[in-house]
């Protein structure tokens, strides 16, 4: 009996050793990039999600670049991944989407964002969805409708905040942007609804970039519950509108429902629901974080604030009526403002990684990327590269003067992605930031009260908020 137990034990140990060896040494027809696959199943997930409190490159990436070079392998939430900090490879990945690569995110991420979300759609249907969204966020809509609405929202919000002893800026801006965009998307009015839609998104965001353990009390579980609440509301709205044959197109959801009612619709109800969810999420979280960071940078850099104020006071000075609304021509003339916005988003690095999957075996830079492996493009590694940006941690909007990135993206600037998936809402985000800054610096002054510290997990957050006191400027 002891002999059998010994043989069994040795067999189990041998199998474990073989399994661990195979995990750490994946099969490859060529040469994999250097790196570690970490622990079986867990990989290096815990190290990846370790919090950091600086504007510098995430320690997880920085340490491995120093050890392995600009391209390395790892494993995150059970998925083998190649991480690229090389701008040429990053650009190659973006340009080869649909040929060698396709959009992809780890399974746990797709579970909470939706299997039919825009990130999971490819080819014709992705292009179709993108063109649909441009009806809301395209240049014509920005110029004819959203410019005025954004300015009205910013003016009202700043007026209300100036009456408070202090405001927590990130939450206040999130509410301002969310209320406006939710109205445009689904005609949502928080004062008329029993469901606090924004709070459900706060729960969702709190665990979006967290270790995926779905047990009570965890951030991930809170995230999942937040999504369920939002999806229930969206499903109820969809059912109501699908059964309303004479409803006019009032908001963007009506446009989506119109597509669903076609004889041969391109999209399904599941795609429509996930699309609305993603738009509601994307419309306020990233922009509010970037705008909060911009105000923090302006508070810490008075020479930038002075230059920005001069630009916007000049706009008022050139008007016949100083309090008339912002025109499209005035908006497009805000050159230094766009420099401030680009420098803020370069340093904010709100999106720590953009994921793709290799559709076939790919040989690049002397390495092989096996078919089915994930590839994580790392924008912060490019944005904070001293060979690309002098003094990369310095907030210096003047570095953008005359740069082509002001009108789009490039291999050296990926704050809004790249390739065919360049963010369709990028121009809307810039417009919101520019108009808010205009309203702020021309009519108000502010001073920090407390908070302002940042944390990256690896996404950007403000753990103790950023509280400021806002007061109206005295008219000259």
**pLDDT tens per residue, range 149-163:** 999 999 999 999 999
3 state DSSP class of 418:
coil
Q: What digits encode the pLDDT tens for the residues 251-299? A: 999 999 999 999 888 888 988 898 888 888 877 778 999 999 999 999 9
The predicted structure's pLDDT at residue 41 = 81
Neighbours of 43 (CB within 10 A): 21
H or E stretch covering 401 = none
In the three-class reduction of DSSP (H, G, I as helix; E, B as strand; rest coil), residue 93 is classed as helix
Residue 117 is predicted with a pLDDT of 64
- Position 121 scores a pLDDT of 65
Residues tagged in the binding site annotation for heme: 423
Q: What's the pLDDT score for residue 123?
A: 74
Low-confidence stretches of the chain (pLDDT beneath 50)? 19, 21
Res 422: pLDDT: 83
Report the pLDDT value the prediction gives residue 19, as an integer from 0 to 100: 47
Distance (Å, whole) CA 163 – CA 237? 36
Residue 429 tokens read as 């985000």
- Which segments are annotated as binding site? 423
CB 298, CB 304: distance < 8 Å:
yes
**pLDDT value of residue 407:** 65
Query: Does the bond joining 458 to the residue before it have cis omega, within 30 degrees of 0?
Result: yes
What pLDDT score was predicted for residue 62?
A: 96
Q: Which residues on adjacent β-strands are paired with residue 472? A: 444
Predicted pLDDT of residue 11? 54
pTM: 0.90
The neighbouring-strand residues paired with 35 are: 73
């Amino acid at each position: 009996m002891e002999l059998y137990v010994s043989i069994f034990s040795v067999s189990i140990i041998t199998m474990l050793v073989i399994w661990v060896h195979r995990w750490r040494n994946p099969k490859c027809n060529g040469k994999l990039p250097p790196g570690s696959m970490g622990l079986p199943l867990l990989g290096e997930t815990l190290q990846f999600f370790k919090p950091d409190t600086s504007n510098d490159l995430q320690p997880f990436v920085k340490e491995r670049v120093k050890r392995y070079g600009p391209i390395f392998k790892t494993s995150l939430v059970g998925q083998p991944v190649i991480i690229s900090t090389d701008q040429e490879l990053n650009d190659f990945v973006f340009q080869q989407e649909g040929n060698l690569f396709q959009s992809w995110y780890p399974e746990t991420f797709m579970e909470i964002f939706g299997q039919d979300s825009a990130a999971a759609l490819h080819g014709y249907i992705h292009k179709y969805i993108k063109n649909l969204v441009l009806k809301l966020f395209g240049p014509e809509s920005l110029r004819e409708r959203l410019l005025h609405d954004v300015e009205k929202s910013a003016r009202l919000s700043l007026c209300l905040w100036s009456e408070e002893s202090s405001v927590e800026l990130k939450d206040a801006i999130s509410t301002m942007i969310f209320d406006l965009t939710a109205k445009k998307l689904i005609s949502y009015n928080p004062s008329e609804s029993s469901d606090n839609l924004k709070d459900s998104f706060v729960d969702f965001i709190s665990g979006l970039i967290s270790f995926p353990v779905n047990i009570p009390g965890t951030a991930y579980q809170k995230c999942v519950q937040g999504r369920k609440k939002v999806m229930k509301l969206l499903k109820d709205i969809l059912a109501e509108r699908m059964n309303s044959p004479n409803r006019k197109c009032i908001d963007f959801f009506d446009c989506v429902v119109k597509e669903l009612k076609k004889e041969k619709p391109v999209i399904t109800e599941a795609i429509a629901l996930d699309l609305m969810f993603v738009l509601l999420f994307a419309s306020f979280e990233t922009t509010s974080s970037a705008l909060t960071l911009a105000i923090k940078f302006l508070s810490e850099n008075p020479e930038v604030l002075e230059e920005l104020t001069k630009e916007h006071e000049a706009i008022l000075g050139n008007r016949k009526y100083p309090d008339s609304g912002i025109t499209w021509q005035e908006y497009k003339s805000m050159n230094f403002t766009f420099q401030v916005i680009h420098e803020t988003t370069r340093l904010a690095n709100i999106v720590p990684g953009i994921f793709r999957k290799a559709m076939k075996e790919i040989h690049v830079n002397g390495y092989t990327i096996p078919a089915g492996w994930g590839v994580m493009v790392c924008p912060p590694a490019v944005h904070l590269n001293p060979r690309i940006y002098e003094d990369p941690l310095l907030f210096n909007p003047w570095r953008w003067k005359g740069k082509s990135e002001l009108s789009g993206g490039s291999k050296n600037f990926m704050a809004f992605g790249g390739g065919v998936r360049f963010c369709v809402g990028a121009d809307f985000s810039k417009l919101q930031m520019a108009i808010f800054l205009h309203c702020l610096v021309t009519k108000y002054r502010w001073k920090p009260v407390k908070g302002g510290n940042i944390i990256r997990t690896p996404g950007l957050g403000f753990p103790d908020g950023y509280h400021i006191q806002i007061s109206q400027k005295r008219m000259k």
